[in-house]
Amino acid sequence: MPARDHLHNVVRNVLTSDGWTITHDPLHLVWGKRDVYADLGAERFVGAQKGPIRIAVEIKSFSGPSPIDALEKALGQFTLYHDILARVEPDRELFLAVSDMVYSEIFEEAIGQLLLANERLKLLVFNPETEVIEQWTPEPPTAR
């Protein structure tokens, strides 16, 4: 199993404070002979008509010497987990959890805007100090 990001417990707290139930820590995904692990699986019950909304969350702090290198690695993981989830748990949406500082440094810049423009990449942006969700990009999963 991979090492946890240093913001792992913060994101757990952020989600539970927002009404999510953590169902998996980590979320084990299997494809063929390979095992991969998204950081968290969570769900929120939104009513008898809709039932539970299920998400998977990959947490990235983008620490290290190069934010672009961290971005490339995060995108690779996101794509892999997204494609596996589409086959094994198609009702579960994948979100990349990043701090508000990472969001402003990377995703408010041109390269980040390019990645967000087609809505393939979904973000959960949180404030690690207050442990509050700042935004869901493109929109919160409960609004669908």
Q: Per residue in 5-22, pLDDT tens? A: 999 999 999 999 999 999
> Which pLDDT value is given to residue 118?
86
Average model confidence (pLDDT) across the chain: 93
**Residue 49 reports pLDDT greater than 70:** no
pLDDT tens for each residue of 62-111 = 988 899 999 999 999 999 999 999 999 999 999 999 999 999 999 999 99
Contact of 51 with 45, CB cutoff 8 Å: yes
**Taking the complete model, does pTM exceed 0.85, yes or no?**
yes
pLDDT band at 48 (very low <50, low <70, confident <90, very high): low
Q: Which domains does the chain have, with CATH numbers?
A: 19-143 (3.40.1350.10)
**Residue 144 reports pLDDT greater than 60:** no
Contact of 69 with 75, CB cutoff 8 Å: no
